[in-house]
C-alpha cells in the first residue's frame, strides 16, 4: 500500500496541494483524487458492504469514516471525499429512497406536481442527519489531506425525484420543467436549500472544499439550462461563498454549457473527457480552476495504454489552478493497483513552467 503517511498526521492543511491548486496558487506536485474513489473497485470496501448496505454505512459514522479513509490509505490521493450519496439528505427528510446495486437511487413516490412538493420538508442536518457531521469530524481527525464535502446539484436531484429513479434522458423531469416552470423552480429552490444546508454542516464539521455533483445537466440545452437551472445554481454558489472554502461544480457531458457554468460562480469546474483541458481553460473564466479529465475507461486498459492516456491529459493541463481527476466516477471493475499507479504518475509529473518546483 502507498502513502500510509497520508492518514494519521495533522499538519496545517490550508496549504495542502489540493487547496492551493483550487485557489490557483503554485503547487509542488499536481494534486489528484478520483470521483467515486471509495467504492466497489476496492476489496476493503466490498468487505464492508458484505456487512452493511450503502445507506446503513452512511448512518454509522465509524464505518462511513473508515470507508472515506480507505482510498486515501491505499492510493495516497490528495483528498478524501465524504462517503455518502447525493440522495442521503432526501432519505433524511423522510422520503422513501432505496439505492439499488447496479441500478442507482429509486424513489418510491416520485414528486411530479405542486401538490407533491408539500411532502418535502426543510433539511435540518443537526436533527435529521446527526451522523453527517459526526462522520466528517471522525474522518478529519484521522486525515492529513483535506476532506471534500459534497451534495447533489438541484437538477440532478430533481431528475431522480421526478423520474422516481435513474433515467437516460431525464424526459419526465424536463417535461415538468417545460410544462410547469413554477413548480419546477420551487422544486429546484428546495433542493438548492437542501444542498446548502448539507454542505454548511459538512464544512462546519471540518470539510475544506465542497463539490456539487450536478451530473445530469448535460441533457439540457444551454437555453434551458440558463432559463430553468442556472439562477438556482447561482444562488446556491452565492450561499456557499459564505463558507470560505473552494467550491467545485461538476456535470457530465456539459461541454456545451461551460460558459453558463462559469457564470454560476464556482471556484473550480470538473470537466469530463469530452472537453480537452486547454479548451476548457480558454472557455471558462480565467480565475476558475480546472479538474479532470481522464476517461475512467482508460483505467480498464492495459498499463502502457493507461500511462499514455494519463500523459495526454497532463500535456493539456494548465500550469496553475489544476486538479487531476477522472472525467467521471471510477468504474467498479477497475484494478485498484492501476489507480495507485495513476497517482504516482501524476505526482511525478513536472511541467516546465509549473512555478514552484522541488
For the annotated catalytic residues, the residue numbers are: 36, 40, 49, 85, 160
CB closer to ligand CP3, 272 vs 354: 272
Among 8, 43, 94, 101, interactor with ligand CP3 by CB under 6 A: 101
In the bound complex, what is the minimum distance in angstroms from residue 354's beta carbon to ligand CP3?
Answer: 27
CB closer to ligand CP3, 99 vs 186: 99
Instruction: Report the C-alpha gap between 64 and 56 in whole angstroms.
Output: 9
Nearest to 158 by CA among 224, 83, 239: 224
Instruction: Report the C-alpha gap between 55 and 76 in whole angstroms.
Output: 26
Q: Which strand (E) or helix (H) includes residue 149?
A: strand 147-152
Among 66, 78, 85, 272, interactor with ligand CP3 by CB under 6 A: 85
Strands, E assignment, 4-63: none
Q: What are phi and psi of 219, to 5 degrees?
A: -80, -5
CB closer to ligand CP3, 202 vs 215: 215
Q: Tell me if 81 contacts ligand CP3 by CB under 6 A.
A: yes
Q: Tell me if 22 contacts ligand CP3 by CB under 6 A.
A: no
Binding to ligand CP3 (CB under 6 A): which residues in 292-321? none
Among 17, 24, 31, 39, interactor with ligand CP3 by CB under 6 A: 39
Q: How far apart are the first and last CA of the chain?
A: 24
In the bound complex, what is the minimum distance in angstroms from residue 56's beta carbon to ligand CP3?
Answer: 10
x/- map, 141-180, ligand CP3, by CB under 6 A:
---------x------------------------------
Binding to ligand CP3 (CB under 6 A): which residues in 174-233? 213, 215
Q: Tell me if 30 contacts ligand CP3 by CB under 6 A.
A: no
SS3 102: coil
In the bound complex, what is the minimum distance in angstroms from residue 223's beta carbon to ligand CP3?
Answer: 23
Hey, what's the cell of 326? 477522472
Q: Tell me if 86 contacts ligand CP3 by CB under 6 A.
A: yes
Cβ density class 259-280: b for 16+ within 10 Å, e for less: ebbbebbbbbbbbbbebebeeb
CB closer to ligand CP3, 86 vs 187: 86
Instruction: Report the C-alpha gap between 107 and 227 in whole angstroms.
Output: 26
Name residues whose C-beta falls within 8 Å of residue 179's C-beta, 6 or more positions apart in sequence: none
CA distances from 270 to 117, 267, 293, 307 (A): 31, 10, 8, 21
Residues in contact with ligand CP3 by CB under 6 A are 35-40, 49, 54, 81, 83, 85-86, 99, 101-105, 150, 213, 215, 252, 329
Amino acid at each position: 500500500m502507498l502513502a500510509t503517511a497520508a492518514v494519521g498526521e495533522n499538519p496545517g492543511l490550508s496549504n495542502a496541494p489540493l487547496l492551493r491548486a483550487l485557489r490557483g496558487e503554485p503547487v509542488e506536485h499536481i494534486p489528484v483524487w478520483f470521483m467515486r474513489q471509495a467504492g466497489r473497485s476496492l476489496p476493503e470496501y466490498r468487505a464492508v458492504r458484505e456487512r452493511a448496505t450503502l445507506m446503513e454505512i452512511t448512518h454509522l459514522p465509524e464505518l462511513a469514516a473508515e470507508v472515506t479513509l480507505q482510498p486515501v490509505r491505499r492510493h495516497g490521493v490528495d483528498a478524501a471525499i465524504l462517503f455518502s450519496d447525493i440522495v442521503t439528505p432526501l432519505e433524511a427528510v423522510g422520503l422513501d429512497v432505496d439505492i439499488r446495486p447496479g441500478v442507482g437511487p429509486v424513489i418510491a413516490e416520485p414528486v411530479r406536481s405542486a401538490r407533491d412538493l408539500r411532502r418535502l420538508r426543510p433539511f435540518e442536518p443537526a436533527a435529521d442527519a446527526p451522523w453527517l457531521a459526526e462522520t466528517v469530524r471522525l474522518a478529519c481527525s484521522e486525515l492529513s489531506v483535506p476532506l471534500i464535502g459534497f451534495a447533489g446539484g438541484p437538477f440532478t436531484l430533481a431528475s431522480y425525484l421526478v423520474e422516481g429513479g435513474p433515467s437516460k434522458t431525464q424526459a419526465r423531469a424536463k417535461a415538468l420543467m417545460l410544462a410547469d416552470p413554477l413548480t419546477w423552480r420551487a422544486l429546484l429552490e428546495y433542493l438548492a436549500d437542501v444542498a446548502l444546508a448539507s454542505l454548511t454542516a459538512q464544512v462546519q464539521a471540518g470539510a475544506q472544499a465542497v463539490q456539487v455533483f450536478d451530473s445530469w445537466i448535460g441533457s439540457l440545452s444551454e437555453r434551458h439550462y440558463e432559463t430553468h437551472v442556472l439562477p438556482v445554481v447561482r444562488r446556491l454558489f452565492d450561499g456557499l461563498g459564505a463558507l470560505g472554502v473552494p467550491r467545485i461544480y461538476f456535470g457530465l457531458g456539459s461541454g456545451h454549457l461551460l460558459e453558463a457554468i462559469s457564470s454560476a460562480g464556482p471556484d473550480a469546474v470538473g470537466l469530463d473527457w469530452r472537453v480537452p483541458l486547454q479548451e476548457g481553460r480558454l472557455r471558462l473564466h480565467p480565475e476558475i480552476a480546472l479538474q479532470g479529465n481522464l476517461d475512467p475507461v482508460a483505467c480498464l486498459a492495459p498499463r502502457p495504454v493507461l500511462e499514455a492516456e494519463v500523459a495526454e491529459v497532463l500535456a493539456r493541463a494548465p500550469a496553475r489552478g489544476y486538479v487531476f481527476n477522472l472525467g467521471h466516477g471510477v468504474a467498479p471493475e477497475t484494478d485498484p493497483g492501476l489507480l495507485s499507479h495513476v497517482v504516482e504518475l501524476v505526482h511525478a509529473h513536472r511541467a516546465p513552467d509549473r512555478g514552484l518546483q522541488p
